[in-house]
């Protein structure tokens, strides 16, 4: 994908990976709209890159439709949508309430469904468009201590794969970003088992992830892995699931933390 001269939108752009990605796309010559539930944060990022900052809830279809209309009216045809907004807490398992599970589902999965529902008709008519789904290494593997995060990130990967297959021959490209540990507000909590897991494996800076995304988009790559070791982990998991499960239980014990549960 050629990034110079395109119009891109980045959700979750007030901080972390989204902010770094908006900056990096701008450096590549893209005109960038930055959206976030944190409106002031989105506008602050946009000011840095001479872009458009918009407060938007990615789980609200009317709000996302309004965002797309505004971007195309003010900036031009939207060629790249970076669905980067996501949530990681509260940690827990099946004991969490339906409300908590549904919140994960709305942000980590349905936001991508909504974006696809609104953008695909435009892109299919134009014969081009690129959707970047920010999932997680947890969507290829799993994580400790946070069942709804692992489950919804797996769903996000599956959705991205489905759209890549369904629309790849009609000019629409899909990429799926699956970083491991990244130094963002999401990894700042102490005592969280999932956070302790990624910290033990090492944290990458958001700017490094943004660089990997740019390289992946330019190479038209579906799976973007800023941590290349994740590919080896996924192969081991698929090759011997019992051994993988035993290894994850051992990691949980080594971290000295009790898993969540009733």
Q: State pLDDT tens for residues 33-74.
A: 999 999 999 999 999 999 999 999 999 999 999 999 999 999
pTM across the whole model:
0.92
User: Among 39-53, 105-119, 167-181, 245-259, whose mean pLDDT is lowest?
Assistant: 245-259
Residue 167 annotated in active site: no
- Strand duo 7-11 + 78-83: pairing: parallel
Give strand pairing partners of 11: 35
Q: Taking each helix axis from N to C terminus, what angle separates 193-201 and 241-254, rounded to the nearest 10 degrees?
A: 100
Give the mean pLDDT of the chain.
Answer: 93
How far, in Å, CA of 174 to CA of 124, rounded?
Answer: 13
Domain boundaries, the chain: 7-254
Residue 200: the pLDDT is 63
User: By percentage, how much of the chain surpasses pLDDT 70?
Assistant: 91
| Tokens found for residue 44 | 């602050």
Q: What is the pLDDT of residue 43?
A: 98
**What's the CATH number for 7-254?**
3.40.50.720
The two three-digit tokens of residue 117, written as one number? 């529902």
Per-residue pLDDT band at 199 (split at 50, 70, 90): low
pLDDT of 100-113, one tens digit each? 999 999 999 999 99
User: 195: closest CA among 136, 113, 240?
Assistant: 136
Percent of the chain at pLDDT > 90 equals 82
Kindly list the strands in the beta sheet with 78-83, ordered across the sheet, starting from the edge strand earlier in the chain.
52-55, 31-36, 7-11, 78-83, 129-134, 172-177, 223-224
- In the structure, what pLDDT confidence band is assigned to residue 143 with cuts at 50, 70 and 90? confident
End-to-end CA distance of the chain: 48
Q: Measured between alpha carbons, how far is 50 from 33 in angstroms, rounded to an integer?
A: 9
Q: What is the pLDDT of residue 182?
A: 78
Select from 100, 97, 110, 104 the least CA-distant residue to 58.
110
d(CA 154, CA 147): 11
pLDDT one-digit tens code per residue, 87-103: 988 889 999 999 999 99
Q: Which of 104, 149, 167, 233 is catalytic?
A: 149
Q: How many Å apart are CA 109 and CA 67, to the nearest integer?
A: 19
Q: Residue 207 pLDDT more than 60?
A: yes
Q: Are 91 and 252 in contact (CB under 8 A)?
A: no
Cα dist from 211 to 48, 125, 168, whole Å = 18, 30, 24
């Amino acid at each position: 994908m050629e990034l110079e001269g395109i119009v891109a939108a980045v959700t979750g752009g007030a901080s972390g990976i989204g902010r770094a990605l908006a900056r990096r796309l701008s450096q590549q010559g893209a005109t960038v709209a930055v959206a976030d539930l944190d409106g002031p944060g989105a506008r602050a990022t946009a000011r840095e890159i001479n872009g458009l900052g918009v407060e938007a809830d990615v789980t609200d279809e009317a709000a996302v439709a309004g965002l797309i209309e505004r971007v195309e009216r003010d900036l031009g045809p939207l060629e790249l949508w970076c669905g980067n907004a996501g949530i990681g807490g509260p940690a827990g398992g099946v004991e969490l309430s339906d409300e908590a599970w549904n919140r994960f589902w709305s942000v980590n999965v349905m936001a991508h469904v909504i974006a696809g529902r609104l953008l695909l008709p435009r892109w299919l008519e134009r014969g081009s468009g690129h959707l970047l789904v920010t999932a997680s290494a947890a969507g290829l593997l799993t994580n400790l201590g946070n069942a709804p995060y692992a489950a919804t990130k797996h769903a996000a990967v599956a959705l991205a794969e489905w759209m890549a297959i369904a629309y790849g021959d009609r000019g629409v490209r899909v990429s799926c970003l699956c970083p491991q540990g990244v130094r963002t507000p999401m990894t700042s909590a102490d005592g969280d088992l999932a956070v302790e897991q990624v910290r033990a494996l090492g944290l990458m800076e958001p700017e490094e992830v943004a660089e990997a995304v740019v390289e992946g988009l330019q190479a038209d790559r579906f799976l973007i892995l800023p941590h290349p070791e994740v590919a080896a982990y996924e192969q081991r998991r698929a090759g011997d699931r019992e051994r993988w499960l035993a290894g994850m239980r051992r990691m949980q014990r080594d971290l000295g933390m009790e898993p969540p549960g009733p």
